[in-house]
Structure 1
């Protein structure tokens, strides 16, 4: 399996200029080319694109099983991070007294014996200590209460905990007024972990999940529909919002929402996911970017080791995009 580190903008100007020049000859991304600009030397989060593991916890290594129903990823969360994945989509359920990372499938995958969330977040803490430049984002499909999540992750995320000083909070950092920070400033501050939950109650500062550092995702991102269709057959490349009340083009004054682009099927089936991953750049540039009027910031895939989805990440990280009116 060939993997590469995510491009983060270092020496970006020369690379971006070359890539933009080559675009004229290759014809790649014609729908997006008009709004392309060279990637800034000091890019913000809104300028960059990150490889994202869909159902990152649904793998045999984290779940300690020799077989698993329709695994979404080939390796553990720790290995995914080592291989260049920089955002994790995780499902959280409370079962057998713990918050567990579990893609719940009736009968085939009950959650009671799945890996606990503290173990997965400890792996994230380990990685952030090993890699002092990485910025990691977690998207939690959240079926827990605030008390349950606090009991599970409170020690890790508290002041003095291994992740306590790592969490970047856009709600207190002036992101709505000033936009997303430069990645270099996140590195300098050490706040290199972003936490989002599907629980909209976390919008309130008094909410227990918000106090842990989890932001309500709908406040900060846009996201396309979560599936391209069944595990076999033609894919639906239409890019439409998964939320009726938050269109992909949603913007606020001075603030650009991060764009989460889902690129996977209902069920991961080989070789469908390999073929889909190989076409990721085409869909991102020629379908989803025009639909959202912004470049995808998170490319979420199944089975990241097949079809070289990192090639799409690298390509998108040679430029930024501003819609020209």
Structure 2
């Protein structure tokens, strides 16, 4: 009897393991899909979650990934006061200017992403870079090499729009897709793909709900729009006036509405306009509204409506009083007045 029970238990364990191995980005249905057939949530300025009026998110990138985010939009900016000469520390993650919000060297965030990718072997993610600091590909290569993430980067041949299936990417271990919006050079760094031969974007500078549209904004003349992937930008900018200077900041107060029916409506419109669902829904405050549920609907799978870890992180931070500072953050601002003061040096640059 004991041996029979042990055999049944072993078979059940093996069966559960086999089922788990068939999951790709959390769903068995995705395994046979090519990378460009699915919709992914990509967080705008993913690194910016510390208490700061310019922050676009509310929790760390690894928490975002735990919740089901599969795309990270990062901005590479030259720091206001560089304290390290190490090549891997050259790139900082900042909100337009590091005087506004500085999340520290990109390599630190990349190390966290690397560990998450290592711990989640059945997941495929995307990292998209806004190269605001006009960095060279060698600068990105140094940060990636130091982080360890190079072991996982996917290489897509130049202008090849035929993407592999998720299960093939997972089996190969090359599960991190990287795009750079300018200064790419795939002859030198083939895994850091130039974004716009592969992916176009809808307009991003939106101030109200009525401004969302389904037209191609970047690049102006895409090489093959019918076969390219695309980012549907769906976040709102507010403005903060400081003397004659106008600073754009996210609209957290309206995120519940922006990330619900408004998001679904634009996704439906873009699907009709472009003849296929959006590949990336780029949002602020992804844990507000119905962001992840809408992505699941577009992918024709059932959304697992479990509590978000980001909400737990926010609640825990609130209990601690002033919020939790990011380990990577070099800019800990919790109220508007110090934020305004920090912008004063920018007046002399404008």
Same fold by TM-score greater than 0.5 = yes
**Relative to structure 1, is the Cα distance of residues 41 and 145 closer, same or farther in structure 2, using a 3 angstrom cutoff?**
closer
Question: How many Å apart are 1:219 and its aligned residue?
Answer: 1.3
Structure 1: which 4+ aligned runs deviate by more than 3 Å?
A: 6-12, 105-109, 246-249
CA distance in 1, matches of 2:150, 2:252: 40
Matched, 1:224 2:202: yes
Residue 227 of structure 1: SS of its match in structure 2? coil
1:196-230 deviation per Cα after TM superposition (whole angstroms, max 9, x unaligned): 0011x424413xxx25x21110111111111332x
Residue in 1 that maps onto 2:126: 137
Rg larger for: 2
TM-aligned CA deviation for residue 269 of structure 1? 1.8
- 1:62-98 deviation line (CA, Å, top 9, x unaligned): xxxxx31221001011111111110000001132143
Match of 1:276 in 2: 258
Query: In the alignment, does 2:96 pair up with 1:101?
Result: no
The alpha-carbon distance between structure 1 residues 221 and 284, as it changes in their structure 2 partners (threshold 3 A), is: same
Pair 1:168-2:150 in alignment: no
In structure 2, C-alpha distance between the alignment counterparts of 1:234 and 1:106, rounded to whole Å: 29
Q: 1:240 aligns with which of 212, 215, 218?
A: 215
Match of 2:65 in 1: 81
**Matched positions, count:** 257
Q: Unpaired segments of 5 or more residues in structure 1? A: 1-5, 13-39, 61-66, 157-161, 320-325
Distance in 2 between residues matched to 1:236 and 1:263, nearest whole Å: 10
User: For the Cα contact (< 8 Å) 1:248–1:291, is it kept in 2?
Assistant: no
Larger deviation, residues 88-97 vs 297-306 = 88-97
SS at match of 1:218: coil
Structure 2 unaligned blocks of 5 or more: 1-22, 85-89, 238-248, 302-350
Q: Residue in 2 aligned with 1:149?
A: 140
Instruction: Sort the Cα spacing of 1:150 and 1:184 in 2 relative to 1 into closer, same or farther, 3 A.
Output: closer
Classify 1:71/1:290 alpha carbon distance in 2 versus 1 (closer, same or farther; 3 Å). same
* Cα RMSD (Å): 2.5
CA deviation vs aligned residue, 1:247-291 (integer Å, no higher than 9, x gap):
59713xxxx311111100123223312101012122101x21222
Contact 2:24 2:166 in 1 (8 A): no
